[in-house]
Each structure stands twice: as C-alpha cells, then as structure tokens.
Amino acid sequence: MNTSAASGSATAGSQTLSRGLQALELLAEAEAPLTINELAEGLGIHRSNAYRILRTLEQRRFVARDEAGRIRLGPKLTALARGVAPALHTAATPAITDLAYRLGMTAFLTVLDIDEVVTLITVEPSNATAIARNPGVRHPVERGAPGHAMEASLSAAERERLLGSPEFGEAALTAKREGYAMSRHEVVEGVMGVAVPLRIPGEPPAAVAVVHFSLPETLDDVVEALQGAAREIAQSYA
C-alpha cells in the first residue's frame, strides 16, 4: 500500500469532514437561511466544493433547502441535540416552552462548553414576534446574558479550572449581586437578553434565558419567570 497516498486521502477526508462541520456551525449562527454563494464564502471555498458538501449534508438530512434554494439546518439535528445532556433536555423542554409563551420572547437553555456558551434548547413563541436562535449556536462566554449568568454561578476555584482564571468579569460580578444577568447588543446588534443561572449536579453550568428586541422598564416579572423556569427544570430533573 502506498503510505503517502493513504496519508493524503486521510488528510483530504479530514478536511472534508471539517468543512462539513464548519458549514453546520455557519448555518447555526446565521440569522437567516444562507444561499450557496454565502455558504461558499463563509467556508472560503469555491461554490462547486460547497455544493458537494451541501449535497452530502442534505442527503443525511442535516440541512434542508427552502423553495428559493436557501439553506437552513435540517430536522435531524434536533434529534442529535436530544442526545446532548438528554436528561437535561427532557427536564427543560416543557419549562422553556412555557417561558417563551408566557413572556412572548424567544426562550432558550444554554450550557457551558469549555469557554463558550452553547444553545441546547430554544423555543420561539408563535404568539409574538420572536428572534430566531438555533440549537447549537455558540459564542464566547464573556458575551451575552447567558454567559454572564453561568460565570456568576461559578466559585472562584471553578472559574479558574474551567476558564483559566479566578477573576470574575464585571458583568458576572453584577449578576452575582442581582441574581440575574442582562445584556444589550453583545451577541447580536439590536437584541437584548436576560438570563439566570441553572446548576444541576452532574450537568455542566447552564443558564435559562430570553431575548427580544426590547425589554420592559422593570425586569421583575421577567426575572421571576426565568427563576421559576430554572426551579422547575431542577425539580423535573430530579
């Protein structure tokens, strides 16, 4: 067997896999479905190569295309998401759904993945104008209300172990004092968020959050609803 040829084939296969995973990340982070040209540009490859990756993902139902040919994440990813912290997913889904409809805002559950916030569950209420947020969306922990809330839930020792330093950011210190975190335009321009921490033994640090284009002048009702959802999730998990 030609060792050099085998190595080259493995490298090409790894690169294709990497680009396929990157494509899913781009679609998860996009605010709207993407065109094939936008996907190719995001991947930094030629349109024909992007199309080959798209066809494979589409055949496996990881992505789907609408009538205009624009690309979005497919329903199969929902099934995969349930395999990530399945007990937490099961416990949280009813509470997150109720929260979204009660407040008329997009509600979601995030977990800490190394130094990033990852959305595990999201519900967009049909009874109000909602902001799209796909499961799998990730961003740095230092940006956004969910990240601040999760950081606030850590001890200094946990923060050093998980994030590399025992020193808390200002937003996390405020969240520790207030019992909730709020952010304005930190993750997406024009979007505001409120979050509370959720800690369940055996699960990664998590946060329950809502986002909207505007927030009420007083956040008491929003925070109370978030804290109630967090308690319900913890009780259902047990």
| Least confident piece of the model among 135-144, 147-156, 220-229 | 135-144
Give the tokens for residue 81: 């998401």
pTM confidence score: 0.71
pLDDT, tens digit, 9 for 90 and up, residues 173-188: 999 999 999 999 898 8
The number of residues making up the chain comes to 238
pLDDT tens digit string along 113-127? Answer: 888 898 889 999 998
- List C-alpha distances in Å: 219 to 104, 216, 223: 14, 6, 6
* pLDDT value, residue 139: 86
The Cα 154–Cα 223 span in angstroms is 19
Amino acid at site 107: A
- Report the pLDDT value the prediction gives residue 83, as an integer from 0 to 100: 56
| pLDDT score at 25 | 82
Write the pLDDT tens digit of every residue in 60-102: 888 888 888 899 877 677 666 655 567 888 899 999 999 999 9
Place 156 in a pLDDT band, splitting at 50, 70 and 90. very high
Residues 6+ apart with CB under 8 A from 207: 109, 110, 117, 145, 146, 147, 149, 150, 153, 181, 195, 196, 197, 198
Q: CA–CA separation, 230 vs 226, rounded Å?
A: 6
